[in-house]
Amino acid sequence: MAPEIAVALIGLAGSAVGSVIGVMASARLTQYRLEQLEKKVDRHNQVIQRTYRLETRCAALEEEARTAARRLGALERGGVGCTSSSAG
């Protein structure tokens, strides 16, 4: 075999091995980055779910406060259920 052909084959093998190693390293890095992104998305989704529950609970508490304020106002005006004359 001519030395030129041997050198070309060795160069081809080296290039092929280098390319395969590069592709494998790139694939591992891509997989790692995807896993990190998935973790961030999970944390984000948890925050969104907690925020939704808090907003729902806040709305319920606000409605309870409005109801209590209306009832208190009615009692102060002598409305339903207030019997000021029976106290004495």
Which whole number is the average pLDDT over 32-50?
Answer: 97
Which whole number is the average pLDDT over 19-46?
Answer: 97
Model pTM score? 0.56
Q: What is the mean pLDDT of the chain?
A: 90
Tokens of 67: 């109801």
Give the per-residue pLDDT at 1: 74
**pLDDT above 70 (res 85):** no
- Residues 6 or more apart whose CB falls under 8 angstroms from that of 82 comprise 74, 75
- Of the pLDDT bands very low, low, confident and very high (cuts 50, 70, 90), residue 83 is low
**pLDDT above 90 (res 84):** no
Domain ranges of the chain: 3-64
